[in-house]
Chains A and B, each alone.
Chain A
């Protein structure tokens, strides 16, 4: 819609840069050499270019953000009185219909004349607004640039100005990380609080029943809705435990072998192949778990005479464990590498075998780091989504039998939020409450783990 504006701004900016640089060069020639200017000619160019681009982009961004709202308000004010008396929700429906007509060219057969008229009004408003905004934006590119151009003198501290702008940009970028965390906390927290207003927090955290499928209408059959998170978390920990039972021994042993025993050629080949495991998308593991591993385990179980669910926790846990192997092994590898060679040499000098050195010197020395990496792996197993969505079940069984189907936090979040739901029922809000618990839990694990690893690194550096 505004596709021509961005190239326009770009052209203006480039022109401003060229003109600014040229003016600085001519000024320099008039008074002597380039060294008589305060800054390099390119700094003057960037200064002019910045003053053309920043105000224009700023205005443009603000308008893009609030265009729909402004025009929507204007249109809804001009609606005939009959429509104005509608409730807020109905009014927004009417507005939606108007927008559909304007943007989709789609006219519902039920559209009344008033709505069609409103659509026309909407159209004219939009086109007027577009003309005005385009004018303002173009003005905002040219006028400040012209002023900046006029201000170019040999004494202008262009470099300082440009560098201040660059610093502001750098600081804003580093704030993104903080804003992301803040955004996560706020978005999850607000919805979770709304949920806790309906369901008491104690019932949620300590409840033993989980069946979030509530009736949508009063006359509909459906369970009353129970939101006890314990079975869901029990399932999550069961699967994570199975995963860790696979990943810790295999990951640690491979890390030890690779760093203490393996020859260099073997290491250069085996390590990248192990890392392939870490690079495979989780959806692939999920497909593999659901289509290959789960039926396999069920068939074996049936052959032995056990009843194994086809969505058993064992299948999901096993595959998740395999996914985490490279994670454990590469973190532990780093940690084992950080143990100083002198400690190994000392142990060998006393006549210890490699095994004894590993068991009694290296592992005790590296233990904090290994524990840290295992905690990080646990936090990953708990937050892993696709494998369990595809291979674990939906029913929340409070059990520790790995052959039955259990559900996990992430599975519930996905099933509750995918699809069309109203956004104020406890059924959708509970997903955010689960998300909040998941976030807090993994955050604590991560902080502890990162602290341990950091302390450990400092010890040997």
Chain B
């Protein structure tokens, strides 16, 4: 007789479908997770090398004849660099060859020397060994990021330059060091001189405006809608409005900024103040929605107790409800700020894509922000900007992860179950 507990073929088939479906679901998740790791892997693999930079040691003799004029700054520093390079390779002659020789050093080398002499004029008349930046092509070559197996005419570095570089390496006059420039300077057309300080400062100024406007306005709106607003048509309109604003494409906020803040109000283009205003409008819905949820979670008994002992409605809210809802509101605000920090499209509209080499000092200085800097570098044709882009992305992601971790920590630490 057949065992009644033995599954029939039909049941087996149902279990197989069940298993297959479960596997399908798991593979969907694994796919997303793999993608996260792959994205991080490509960016880190491409970008970590940007934190070091190739330097070349040259022997500079600061001859007095060079600084005849009254003003040291007017001296011909590029020629000084050129002569020092010539000293390492005395055999190199001819216009073309010397030009090729001096092109393995960055144009920034001249500024390095100028700075040295300006800060310490006693150097004049002495001879010093000085490490200067190598050109970005040399840098890319030593990081293994240039193709070397193509014909010489298609290469940025020619055979002669490669033999010179070999000689420099064997003499110990070429090494990779930590790339301080990347953290201490603004944007530049020369990849080896480009840094993120300008963009980071711009982001900081912009976020400061965004935070100082959107947090009070967002919390006030949430308090009004949640605690005071009468249930009428007007309140309904505001509510629907806020939910819709949260889903409006960010670029539309850029159009608003361009038409109203810049063309109508006449605020200066490309500045943190306009960027901050646009991002404020963009992050407000996020903050309002989070703050309302947080206010909703405070139990009514707290309000009733405060009202019962004679507090006014506003006192109840400022003394009792707000302190209890604050962690949730802060979490929402930090998440909104993280969004604002990563946002690019509306800032393109208000002209924050201009090339700006200076580090901004005030809210009305033209400036870039980190994501826009990433966009600009990603568009640059030089090979060396690609690793800079990845490095800037790493820094941006580090900031974002830090902000989100703080938000998660706040939520975990201060979450109250009533």
Give residues in A with beta carbon < 8 Å to B: 65, 68, 159, 163, 166-167, 169-171, 173-174, 176-178, 180-181, 183-184, 187-188, 190-191, 249-251, 253-254, 256-258, 261-262, 270, 272-274, 276-277, 279-284, 286-288, 290-292, 322, 325-326, 329, 353-356, 358, 376, 379-380, 382-386, 389-390, 410, 413-414, 417-418, 423, 431-432, 435, 438-439, 442-443, 446-447, 449-450
- Could you say which of B20-28, B67-75, B320-328 contacts chain A? B20-28
> B18, B24, B251, B386: which contacts A385 (Cβ < 8 A)?
B251
Q: Indicate whether A417 sits within 8 Å of B258 (C-beta atoms), given known contacts A173-B221, A177-B288, A281-B344.
A: yes
Give A380 to B247 CA distance when docked, in angstroms.
Answer: 7
Instruction: Please name the residue on chain B nearest to A167 by beta carbon.
Output: B228
Interface code B172-210, partner A: CB below 8 Å = 1, 0 otherwise? 000000000000000000000000000000000000000
Question: Are B36 and A283 interface neighbours, CB within 8 A?
Answer: no
Instruction: Please name the residue on chain B nearest to A169 by beta carbon.
Output: B220
The reply on B253 being an interface residue by CB < 8 A is yes
Question: Are A325 and B345 interface neighbours, CB within 8 A?
Answer: no
> B21, B240, B397: which contacts A450 (Cβ < 8 A)?
B240
The reply on B110 being an interface residue by CB < 8 A is no
Question: Are A286 and B378 interface neighbours, CB within 8 A?
Answer: yes
The reply on B314 being an interface residue by CB < 8 A is yes
Question: Are A177 and B36 interface neighbours, CB within 8 A?
Answer: no
Shortest B12–chain A CB gap in Å is 11
Contacts of A249 in B (CB 8 A): 28
Question: Are B25 and A410 interface neighbours, CB within 8 A?
Answer: no
Give A281 to B228 CA distance when docked, in angstroms.
Answer: 36
Main secondary structure of the interface of B (DSSP, over half): helix
Question: Are B247 and A261 interface neighbours, CB within 8 A?
Answer: no
Question: Are B375 and A280 interface neighbours, CB within 8 A?
Answer: no
Question: Are A443 and B244 interface neighbours, CB within 8 A?
Answer: yes
Question: Are B244 and A450 interface neighbours, CB within 8 A?
Answer: yes
For this complex, 17 residue pairs linking A to B, each with C-beta atoms less than 8 Å apart, are A166-B314, A170-B221, A178-B237, A180-B245, A180-B281, A184-B252, A184-B256, A187-B258, A187-B260, A257-B26, A279-B404, A322-B35, A354-B21, A376-B247, A384-B249, A418-B349, A442-B248
Contacts of B224 in A (CB 8 A): 170-171, 173-174
Interface centre among B29, B224, B240 (most CB of A within 10 A): B29
Question: Are B39 and A280 interface neighbours, CB within 8 A?
Answer: yes
Shortest A424–chain B CB gap in Å is 11
Question: Are B375 and A390 interface neighbours, CB within 8 A?
Answer: yes
Question: Are A187 and B43 interface neighbours, CB within 8 A?
Answer: no
Q: Indicate whether A254 sits within 8 Å of B255 (C-beta atoms), given known contacts A282-B345, A355-B21, A450-B243.
A: no
Contacts of B43 in A (CB 8 A): 284, 288
Question: Are B249 and A174 interface neighbours, CB within 8 A?
Answer: no
Main secondary structure of the interface of A (DSSP, over half): helix
Shortest A392–chain B CB gap in Å is 14
Shortest A38–chain B CB gap in Å is 12
Question: Are A383 and B249 interface neighbours, CB within 8 A?
Answer: yes
> A187, A262, A353: which contacts B255 (Cβ < 8 A)?
A187
Question: Are A417 and B349 interface neighbours, CB within 8 A?
Answer: yes
Interface code B259-299, partner A: CB below 8 Å = 1, 0 otherwise? 11001111000000000000001001100100000000000
Give A290 to B18 CA distance when docked, in angstroms.
Answer: 39
Q: Indicate whether A163 sits within 8 Å of B221 (C-beta atoms), given known contacts A178-B237, A180-B284, A261-B22.
A: no
The reply on B31 being an interface residue by CB < 8 A is yes
**15 additional A-B residue pairs with CB within 8 Å, beyond A277-B36, A355-B22, A450-B244:** A170-B220, A173-B216, A174-B221, A181-B241, A254-B32, A257-B26, A273-B33, A280-B400, A281-B371, A287-B378, A291-B378, A326-B32, A417-B349, A439-B248, A447-B240
Give A174 to B238 CA distance when docked, in angstroms.
Answer: 7
Give A89 to B282 CA distance when docked, in angstroms.
Answer: 35
The reply on B17 being an interface residue by CB < 8 A is yes
Q: Identify which of residues 335-382 in chain B touch chain A, using a CB-to-CB cut-off of 8 Å.
A: 338, 341-345, 348-349, 351, 353, 371-372, 374-375, 378-379
Give A353 to B18 CA distance when docked, in angstroms.
Answer: 7
> B249, B285, B374, B375: which contacts A442 (Cβ < 8 A)?
B249
Shortest B325–chain A CB gap in Å is 15
The reply on B389 being an interface residue by CB < 8 A is yes
Give residues in B with beta carbon < 8 Å to A: 14-15, 17-18, 21-22, 24-26, 28-29, 31-33, 35-36, 39, 42-43, 216-217, 220-221, 223-225, 228-229, 237-238, 240-245, 247-253, 255-256, 258-260, 263-266, 281, 284-285, 288, 312-314, 338, 341-345, 348-349, 351, 353, 371-372, 374-375, 378-379, 386, 389-390, 393, 396-397, 400-401, 404, 408
Interface centre among B28, B240, B241, B401 (most CB of A within 10 A): B28
Give A431 to B21 CA distance when docked, in angstroms.
Answer: 46
Question: Are B14 and A353 interface neighbours, CB within 8 A?
Answer: yes
Instruction: Please name the residue on chain A nearest to B374 by beta carbon.
Output: A283
Give A418 to B237 CA distance when docked, in angstroms.
Answer: 34
Q: Indicate whether A379 sits within 8 Å of B237 (C-beta atoms), given known contacts A177-B221, A187-B259.
A: no
Shortest B378–chain A CB gap in Å is 5
Q: Indicate whether A414 sits within 8 Å of B32 (C-beta atoms), given known contacts A281-B343, A384-B249.
A: no
Instruction: Please name the residue on chain B nearest to A449 by beta carbon.
Output: B247
Q: Indicate whether A286 sits within 8 Å of B375 (C-beta atoms), given known contacts A173-B221, A178-B237, A180-B256.
A: yes
Q: Indicate whether A439 sits within 8 Å of B252 (C-beta atoms), given known contacts A274-B29, A283-B342.
A: yes
Contacts of A389 in B (CB 8 A): 345, 348, 375
Give A258 to B25 CA distance when docked, in angstroms.
Answer: 8
Question: Are B245 and A418 interface neighbours, CB within 8 A?
Answer: no
> B216, B244, B284, B374: which contacts A287 (Cβ < 8 A)?
B374
Contacts of A384 in B (CB 8 A): 249
Contacts of B251 in A (CB 8 A): 383, 385, 410, 413-414, 435, 438
Shortest A414–chain B CB gap in Å is 6
Question: Are A385 and B255 interface neighbours, CB within 8 A?
Answer: no
Shortest B328–chain A CB gap in Å is 17
Question: Are B284 and A410 interface neighbours, CB within 8 A?
Answer: no
Q: Indicate whether A284 sits within 8 Å of B263 (C-beta atoms), given known contacts A274-B33, A355-B17, A443-B248.
A: no
